Each structure stands twice: as C-alpha cells, then as structure tokens.
Structure 1
Amino acid sequence: MLVLLPPSEGKAASGRGAPLKPESLSLPGLTPARETVLGELVELCSGDEEKAREVLGLSEGLRGEIAKNAELRTAGARPAGEIYTGVLYDALDLASLDAAAKRRAARALLVFSGLWGAVRVTDRIPSYRCSMGVKLPALGALGAYWRAPMAEVLPAAAGDGLVLDLRSAAYAAAWKPQGEVAGRTATVRVLHAPTRKVVSHFNKATKGRIVRSLLASGSAPAGPAELVEALRDLGYEVEAQAPARAGKPWALDVLVAEIH
C-alpha cells in the first residue's frame, strides 16, 4: 500500500540536526529536479525580499519564512514526519504509533511537496515554505514542473499494490496515476453525513484518522475493493464508486455524522 499525502502549510522548526543531504532522500530519481527547485528557491529568498514574498504568496506576518528559505542548505534537518504539522498530521499522530505501525508508516506514506516533489516520512528535511501552487521565476508553476520527474519515478514507487490518494487538488496535479496504476488507486472524500458537504478542517482530520487506523491495525488491503472492506471493518461508513472503465481510480466517500 502506498498512501499519498499533502504536506502541511505550517511546519515545525528545523531543529539542530545535521543539514540537508539531498542525495540521501528517498526516490533518488527526483534528486536533479529537487536540486533545481532548491537552488532557485534559495536564490529567490536570498535576494529581493518583497519579490520573494510576492512569489511565495506570503502575508506580512510570514515574512520570516523568506530568511528561513534562504538558509535551507545549512539549516538543521529532521524527519519529514516531524516537520509536517497541521490538522491531518495531528490526527495521524505518527509519534504515538507503536513500533510496528511506525515501520508501516515509513514504507507506506509519501508526502508531496512543492520543494521536494515527494518524500518519505523518515526523510530528513529542513523546515521550508514553498507550496505546489508557487510559480518560481525561472521554473514556472511547480505543479507543472514536477509532472515529468514524477511520471518517471512514481509508478515504480507505487509497486503492484493499492494506492490511496489523499492529496489536495494542487498536489494531485503533480502526478496523476495512469493505466493499471490508476485502476488500483482510490481517492477519498470525507463528507458530513447529514448535509453531504465537505468541510475542509473536518476532511483533513478524518483523513489523518483513516491513515492512522490502517497503520495501527496492520491492515494491508490489496486494492480499492479490499480497502472499502478494511475501512468498514475499522468502523467507517464508506460509499464506493468503482470506475466505469479500466484505468480510472475508484472514488470513495467516507461519511461521518459528527464534526470534531
């Protein structure tokens, strides 16, 4: 099982660990593209601060993120699972999983990123600010920039099992499973059952809980149909829509009665 996650906009501090080693990150086929984005981001944030703030879409209160980006090559690095925070990651709560579930998380979770493309939760990275929606001066829109490198690397990372895609639209744009990989991919919406509406905060928290439930239970669904049964066994109310034709992902709605 491969679980595709969005990053968090806010991130924990880098800490005092050894600095980033790009060549040590998972998915080494992405290293040249990572180096290119990293180089341009550092250059941008080392120059005109107002230009950097505009490009990155930062409010006045987030001006300090520019200086942080300028020092990415020398800042301390921590496991990505500790860097990413926010609603989904709070609900996932990787730190409190038992040892076996943490090993499953290290194998299964892949976090998409405007800067790194995608990383495992065990990859050591510094804290940064660069969303997939950013358009860097020389590279353009990062969602489009990452498509070619991702298309080369991600099919192999997906292996021959289930792909559970929990990404937001901006990050999904960087890689869309194709062909037989798409056929064993499931996307998930979380709906407030009484209203059938998506609520953003609630959506993220529930997705974090779903991933935690799967990791903690040791469930290893082989494909989308098995995922539906696994989630129901874990107590979730799931409605599934199988694709009308081969080579398309399944669409799952998880219905929850209470928003919390």
Structure 2
Amino acid sequence: MLLLLPPSRGQSPAPRRARPVDLASLSLPGLGAAREHVLDALAAVCARPDAPAVLGLGPSLADEVARNTRLRTEPAADAVRVYSGVLFAAADLAGEREPMTATARRRARRHVLVASGLWGVVAPGDRIPAHRLGMGTDLPGTGPLAAFWRPHLARELAGRGDGLVVDCRSAEYQAAWRPGQGSDWVTVRVLQDGAVVSHSAKHARGLLAGHLVRRAGRVPTTPQGLVRAAAERFGAESVDLARTGRSWRLDVHLGGATG
C-alpha cells in the first residue's frame, strides 16, 4: 500500500533551536536537484514586492512570505509535526494524542508520502521547515509546479505505485503524479447528506489515514481490503467502493447514510 496525503496550509514552525533542513537526508534523494531548484526560485520570488500575488497569498501572510526567503536556515521538524492542518490533526501521525506503536511508526515510514509543491513529496519523518507554496503555483523561474514535478516524480516513484494506492490528495496535487496502469488506484471522496464536502473531508481522510497506520493486522493490498479497513473506522454502512475508469473511488458517507 502507498498512502498519499496532501500537505496542509496550516503549518507549525519548528522550535527555534532546531536544526535547519538537510536536503541530502530527505527521502527520495533523487529529487534533490529539483528541490534545490524550487527552493532557490521560491526564495528569489519571495524577495520581490509582488510575491504575495504570485503565490496567491493575502497581505496578512507577509511574515510567511518573508520566511520563504530563508528556508535553508529556518528550524526544521518532522513533516507530520510541521503540517498541522485538519487532516494531519485527525491522522495524528506524530502520536500527540495516541502514541504510535512500533508497528504504526514502521507503517508510516514505509507506506505514507506527503505531496508538496516545494519538495515534490516527503515522508512523515523528513525534517522540513514551515513554508508556503501550493502545487497550483506558477512559480517564476520554474513554471507551473505540477508540470515541473511530473517527470521527476514519475521517475522517482516508479514502482512505488504498483499495487494499492490510497490517494487522499486534491486534484491540484494529483496533477503532479498519478499511479501507473498496473496499480489499484483508489481516490477517497467524502459526502454528507449526499453532497461532496471539503472541510469535513479533510478530517475524514485524516481519520482514515490514522486508522490505516494504526489498525491491527496487515495493511490492505486491494481496493476490497481497503473498504473492509475503512468500515472498521466508519461503519460498513458508511463506506462503498466504485470503479471509475482506470481508478477506484472509496466513498465515505458522514452521518452513516450511503444515499
């Protein structure tokens, strides 16, 4: 199983005394040159007065734009501690509410990747600084980030997408990499009262991710096994599976109604 998560806009800076990022130590080191390129391009853009407009950020985030210019020296922490939005709070892969067993930690290391406009992808334990850069950005000096990352991720993730891929990313991040034809690619959709929801979807996807890492027994290896695992968390009446072209879709119905 490969479990793909989106990053979160909400991020918690590492403690000031923490060491900065070591690019060579990040997972998938073959992405190193591409990460260096995006990091340099982002720093250059964020030194410009029009940086907030380029990044699609409001004036209240000026401090975060300024921090983007010094990411090589900013303190870094595990990605699952830096990413602090709704999905990551629900998944609790840092074990802040419920301690992670040795098995859960091993599963997170082996099976989870977090998509990123800056890093391409990172593993939960990769130490990164808090930053602001969405995959939908057209970054001067780089171009549209999804298109930039596509060939790099295709090369580095070759083979990682064989088998079951549980995709909790948004379409913006799916544009940078999609599993190959040989995979069982399952996207996760969340509905409430029959309608697709967004904010609640992040929470539900986080609960699913946390459960897949912590549950007893082996990780699922087929879409049908994923449905059974999801039913353990949400109830059998609240999950269903459908084939959609070359992929599958797992629907999670909040409130217990499948509609």
- TM-score (norm. length: structure 2): 0.91
- After superposition, the CA RMSD in angstroms is 1.7
| Distance of 1:161 and 1:97 partners within structure 2 | 29
Any conservation in 1 of the 2:5–2:114 contact (CA below 8 Å)?
yes
Larger deviation, residues 171-180 vs 230-239: 230-239
Identify the residue that residue 201 of structure 2 maps to in structure 1: 203
| Distance of 1:112 and 1:13 partners within structure 2 | 18
Question: Which amino acid in 1 is paired with 2:53?
Answer: E
| CA displacement 1:176-221 (0-9 Å, x = unmatched) | 112102xx111110111xx211121111100111111121213411
Q: Which runs of 4+ in 1 moved over 3 A?
A: none
| CA displacement 1:96-128 (0-9 Å, x = unmatched) | 342221221122111000000000010011111
Deviation at 1:35, TM superposition (A): 0.8
Identify the residue that residue 168 of structure 1 maps to in structure 2: 170
| Distance of 2:247 and 2:77 partners within structure 1 | 34
| Distance of 1:155 and 1:196 partners within structure 2 | 36
Deviation at 1:157, TM superposition (A): 2.7
Identity %: 44
Residue 255 of structure 1 is aligned with which of 247, 253, 256?
253
Aligned length: 249
Larger deviation, residues 170-179 vs 116-125: 170-179
Deviation at 1:243, TM superposition (A): 4.7
Matches within 5 A, 1:45-194: 45=46, 47-48=47-48, 50-94=49-93, 95=95, 96-99=98-101, 100-158=103-161, 160-181=162-183, 184-192=184-192
| CA displacement 1:141-199 (0-9 Å, x = unmatched) | 101111110111112333x4311001011111100112102xx111110111xx21112
Residue 217 of structure 1 is aligned with which of 215, 224, 228?
215
| Distance of 2:85 and 2:55 partners within structure 1 | 19
Any conservation in 1 of the 2:163–2:182 contact (CA below 8 Å)?
no
- TM-score (norm. length: structure 1): 0.91
The SS at the match of 1:66 is helix
